[in-house]
Amino acid sequence: MRRAALLALWSHWRRHPLQLATLLAGLALATALWSAVQAINAEARASYARAAAQIGAGGLDRLEAPGGPIPLARYVALRRAGWQLSPVLEGSWRLGERRLRVAGIEPLSHPPLPAFAALAEDATALPQMIAAGGLLLAAPDLAADLATALHEMPGRPQVRASDQVPPGLVLTDIGVAARLLGRPDQIDRMLILPDQPIGLAPLSALAPDLQRLPGRAGSDTARLTDSFHLNLTAFGLLSFAVGLFIVHGTVGLAFEQRRAMIRTLRALGLPMRLLTGLMLAEVMALALLGGLVGLGLGYLVAAALLPDVAATLRGLYGAPVAGGLTLRPAWIGSGLAMALAGTLAASLHALWRAARMPILAAPGLQAWAERAARASRLQALAGLGLIAAGLGALWLIEGLIGGFALLAGLMLGAALLLPPALAALLRLGRRRARGVVAEWLWADMRAQLPGIGLALMALLLALATNIGVGTMVKSFRQTFTGWLDQRLISELYVTATDDDQGAEIARWLAPRVQAVLPIRSVDFTPGGAAAGQTVTVYGVVDDRSYRDHWPLLQTAPRAWDRVMAGEAVFINEQLARRVGIGPGDSLTLAPNWQLPIAGVYSDYGNPTGQAIVAMPSLLAHASAVPNRRFGLRLPAAEVPVLAEALRQRFDLPASALIDNAALKAQSLAIFDKTFVVTGALNLLTLGVAGFAILTSLLTLWSLRLPQIAPVWALGLTRSQLARLEIGRSLLLAALTALLALPLGLLLAWALLAVINVQAFGWQLPMALFPLDWLRLFALALLAAGLAAALPARRLYRLPPSDLLKVFANAR
Amino acid sequence: MLLEIDDVTKTYAGASRPVLRGVSLTLAAGQTLALTGESGSGKSTLLHLAGALDRFDGGEIHLSGQPLSGLDDAGRAALRRSHVALVFQQFNLIPSLSVAQNLAFHARLAGRPDRDWIARLTERLGLAELTLRYPEQLSGGQQQRVAIGRALAARPALLLADEPTGNLDETASTAVMDLMLELVRESGTALFLVTHSQAIARRLDRHLHLAGGRVV
Ligand SMILES: Nc1ncnc2c1ncn2[C@@H]1O[C@H](COP(=O)(O)OP(=O)(O)OP(=O)(O)O)[C@@H](O)[C@H]1O
Ligand SMILES: [Mg+2]
């Protein structure tokens, strides 16, 4: 009996292969985009975890000097006193065009690292590591470059590739690191090992000037990038929801069309419980199939997008993420679970309706529309409620979660409001329509609304997201470009190979240019309100260029004078927002160095806190401030000549000299690469929405004939009707797009003024790009036109006898 | 002659045998004609051909003097709009339009809207109370009365009706048919009626029978 019933149910799909394909495609698309985002997130998280395990030894307390490096002798002294410590020297190192991070550790005392664990099996490794040349460990692609680059270096270290080392990092013995970084007899911090002998003199007595900092629970990168991943997840969820619209539509129609069959099966004595169970099983089997296809697609999408995401994370947060994708069982499991749960949610309504189906004949379209009208009032109320809840959440819940709650409330609420709003517009259109065909068209659209409402909601969400995210990115770009113009003060930037050469270059340049602006900085770990932050403090010399160009957001009176006199400090917007300080407050950079804040400057694309002080004060409070980079002011026309002279005189590599325009182009290129992913996801969601329209039009097809046949019989041609069919779809899409515009702008505002501040630490002015709206409008029309083209073609080609069947067959 | 069917043949695509194998008949303006025949004998098919709804394979049909064989889609649609009106067994009405809008639809499409005439038809067909309803909210008999009203409102030269009361019970069927015949006579419209009922067929000017793909 069960078998027979199953065969009967299944026969529906055999007779409607297109419906089956639509259902599977909807499922696959939903799963694909969702799981692609999940794969990307999982990959990035794994990278952070690897990085944290590798270099962080994050759980251990550490000892640092507030103003800079610690002399190696201090470490030796503390060891003699019995303290179990492990020294770390870290710094950035240039390899040709690339900027790498070098981490030097002491392998014997340092807590075990995965990369070294792998080496332990190789008996030659440890001696090599401590031997004169030393051993460098790096990720495979970097290792290859290193080997080539170091080929000529005297007493060069051996290079080994290791999967365990995060990208962009060179891991080595502390002695080798000191040599590479040119910082002999220095360390940056000491890790305080867990097991210490009893009865030691306290560290506070032995080294009162050193700060003991607690170990960090999670890695910094993970916390910083959380918002980015939340963003991606929201995108994935949106696409998933759009895909589920398709599933909901198809399943609903399939059940509607199978009413007669279900009734017959029941009449034949099949209990409804069993029937419902069978239908549930059927839907779940389809979900499994669609989900598997979706996972395959998702893997491809993720693999295609991951390199760009990795670039984004590196560019925006300095987070180390590799560009390769690995297949994880957990990902497959969660993807399938999502497909099953989503399908269940999307089919529950149809199942429920089938289970309590009235014995009366199926209600027609108009009754459906009437019922929908009643439901739409409720829906409108629910929509308004959701928007209000979103606004309330922003007000009540602090931070990023509140911001996302606002977004979710806005988007869902607006989607629910769409059908009632469209219905009102269509009523208006109908009232103003002239001519009998136009009147019919408006009335007909109104009657169709419940059928394609869901697809139009999907379109609304996709368009609004497009406008919102597009506006955010472009506003950001505009601000960023303007900011670069201000910030890149100098016409030419030069980087020396070491401090000595730096000093020589500065001397040589002094008579030849208008100004030499040294770019020197040291990382501080401030106390007071800003404790726990790392602040890169830049020293600047007093030059008009700064006063004229520096992009200050807020200032106190006489700001520049006070900063130049060493009496005040400027901080960047990130630090100001993160700590909640500004002009009027003060910043404690070191125990003996506290300065009032004289201003806040914008500093885009930089994840960390920054401060600016007068150069003499920086040099007074920090030892060993590198002096290798300089900005040069000179007439733009003289740049090529001077650059050539510099190169000749000091034998500098091409990468050591970069002019303003090139630097700007480089920065913008990085910026653009950063947002490639967003663009791709934007387009994908729009595609899915277009597909949702197509599927709902196709599934409505069988309900459509009784609507069209009378009009055709009364004297309209099939080609006229086909054109009207396309026009209908275009008009609905156009109306939806018009409603999407204000929603998108609202979304943009929320992203710029709420999410950005929470996620990146900076606020951006919003700019409007009407040309983009036009382009998007055209895209929406194209999607709707294409979606309607298939049904319209079918109508155009329909034999008259098929249309005539409507009037004769008892249906 | 209003309608001249001359030796028309028709075979449906994919069918092995022709439905119509040389049918001829004529219908003058204002005349009423009943066509009977067994189920599947091709009555509806013939009616569709006469109404320029479908194409035929051989022979010729003239409607108001116009040969149908040479007309394209647009030409046939124009003819349907202005010369003929149709009442089928079911699904005649446009679901998204109200009764009033349905009633006026064909007349407006034909460019002959006549308020007074439509108002009188509405009255005579007993639809005055129902004008704001939608087709779905009507009984089968009411729906067919609206369809008849819509057809006659356009003042067509020829009314084609295919078992217009086939879905109704005996009483409703008689009432609707009486009204239709009355209004057809009053307006001077020619009627081509397909029916199963010999009683109804006898009430019309002429009565033809279709069998074996020919009129007998
Ligand atoms: N679209 C079609 N394709 C193929 N065959 C068709 C089609 N429409 C009708 N037929 C066949 O043509 C024949 C005549 O059909 P038609 O509908 O004209 O009969 P009818 O006399 O109106 O019958 P009824 O009294 O049952 O309405 C039938 O055998 C039918 O199966
Ligand atoms: Mg028939």
Q: Judging by beta carbons within 10 Å of its beta carbon (0-12, 13-18, 19+), is residue A22 exposed, middle or buried? A: buried
Can you give the pLDDT at residue A469? 82
Residue B83 belongs to some domain of the structure: yes
Q: Do the domain assignments include residue B184?
A: yes
Residues of A in contact with B108 (CB under 8 A): 436
Question: Tens digit of pLDDT for each residue in A337-380?
Answer: 988 988 888 888 778 877 765 544 444 545 555 565 677 788 88
**pLDDT mean across residues, chain A:** 81
Q: Which two tokens stand for residue A666?
A: 């480089």
Whether A806 and chain B come into contact, CB under 8 Å, resolves to yes
- Residue A412, C-beta contacts closer than 8 angstroms, at least 6 positions apart: A383, A386
Segments forming the whole domain that contains residue B168: 30-52+72-215
For residue A261, the CA-to-ligand 1 centroid distance in Å is 25
Chain B residue whose CA is closest to A443: B96
Task: Say which of B48, B54, B136 has its CB closest to residue A366.
Answer: B136
Which residue has a Cα nearest atom 1 of ligand 1?
A801
Q: Which atom of ligand 1 is nearest to the CA of B14?
A: 4
Q: Residue B41: CB within 6 Å of ligand 1?
A: yes
Please report the pLDDT score of residue A230 as a whole number: 66
What pLDDT shows up at residue A735?
Answer: 94
Cβ–Cβ under 8 Å, residues A452 and A697: yes
Hey, which residues does A522 pair with through a beta bridge? A537
CATH code, domain with B186:
3.40.50.300
B160-187 pLDDT, tens digit each = 999 998 888 888 889 889 999 999 999 9
User: Rounded mean pLDDT of B100-112?
Assistant: 93
State the average pLDDT for chain B.
Answer: 92
Residue of minimum CA distance from atom 7 in ligand 1: B12
- pLDDT value of position A63: 81
H helices of B25-93, where? 43-50, 73-82
User: With an 8 Å Cβ cutoff, are B88 and A366 in contact?
Assistant: no
pLDDT in tens, A423-449: 899 989 988 988 899 999 999 998 888
Contacts of A557 (CB under 8 A, 6+ apart): none
Residue B62 lies in a domain: no
Q: B54 vs chain A: nearest CA distance in angstroms?
A: 6
Question: How does pLDDT run across A109-162, given as a tens digit for each residue?
Answer: 777 676 666 666 666 666 666 666 778 888 888 888 888 777 766 667 788 887
Q: Are A103 and A181 in contact (CB under 8 A)?
A: no
Domain assignment of residue B17, yes or no: no
Nearest-by-CA chain A residue for B147: A710
Work out the number of other CB atoms within 10 angstroms of the CB of residue B205. Answer: 13
Indicate the pLDDT class of residue A220, thresholds 50, 70 and 90.
very low
Residue B89 CA: nearest ligand 1 atom is 27
The CB of B92 under 6 Å from ligand 1? The reply is no
Range from A48-57, A320-329, A581-590, A657-666 that averages highest in pLDDT: A581-590
A444 interface with B at CB cutoff 8 Å: yes
Looking at CA atoms only, how far is residue A468 from chain B in angstroms?
Answer: 37
Give the orientation angle of helix A701-713 with respect to helix A800-808, to 10 degrees: 100
Return residues with CB closer than 5 A to ligand 2 (ion): B 44
Residue A396 forms contact with B (CB below 8 Å): no
Q: Is residue B192 part of a domain?
A: yes
Q: Report CB contact under 8 Å: A714, B93.
A: no
**pLDDT tens column, A296-342:** 999 998 888 888 777 666 655 556 666 677 777 888 888 899 889 88
Mean pLDDT check: name the lowest of A258-267, A536-545, B74-83, B147-156: A258-267
In a domain, B126, yes or no: yes
Smallest Cα distance from A293 to chain B, Å? 38
CB pairs under 8 A between A and B: 101
Is residue B132 in some structural domain? yes
Asked if residues B207 and B36 have their Cβ atoms less than 8 Å apart, the reply is yes
Antiparallel, parallel or unpaired: β A135-138 and A158-161: parallel
Number of domains comprising chain B: 1
pLDDT value of residue B7: 95
Put simply, the answer to whether B73 touches A719 (Cβ < 8 Å) is yes
- Report the alpha-carbon distance of residue A648 to residue A643 in Å, rounded: 9
ipTM of the complex: 0.93
| Domain coordinates in residue numbering, chain A | 1-54+226-363, 60-215, 492-634
pLDDT at A727 over 90: yes
- Cβ B162–A720 below 8 Å, yes or no? no
Q: Which residues of B touch A718 (CB under 8 A)?
A: 73
Q: Determine, yes or no, domain membership for B65.
A: no
**Ligand nearest the Cα atom of residue A805:** 1
Q: What is the arithmetic mean of pLDDT over A520-544?
A: 84
CB contact under 8 A, A799 and B13: yes
Report percent pLDDT > 90 for chain A. Answer: 18
Choose which residue among B8, B10, B12, B23 to substitute to test ligand 1 binding: the one with the highest number of ligand atoms within 8 A of its C-beta. Answer: B12
Mutation site for B-interface testing, chosen from A714, A796, A805 by largest number of B Cβ within 10 Å = A714
Residue with tokens 């609004």: A464
Residues A27-53, mean pLDDT to the nearest whole number: 78
Candidates A439, A715, A799; nearest CB to B80 = A715
Distance between Cα A644 and ligand 1 center (Å): 92
pLDDT value for A362? 47
Distance CA B190, CA A598 (A): 97
Phi-psi region of B65 (alpha: psi -120 to 50; beta: other; left: phi over 0): left
DSSP string, B128-154: GGGTTS-GGGS-HHHHHHHHHHHHHHT
Distance B50 CA to ligand 2 centre (A): 14
Tokens of A281: 């099983």
**What integer is the mean pLDDT of A563-589?**
90
Question: Which residue's CA is the nearest one to ligand 1's atom 16?
Answer: B42
Residue B35 corresponds to which tokens in the numbers above?
A: 């066509």
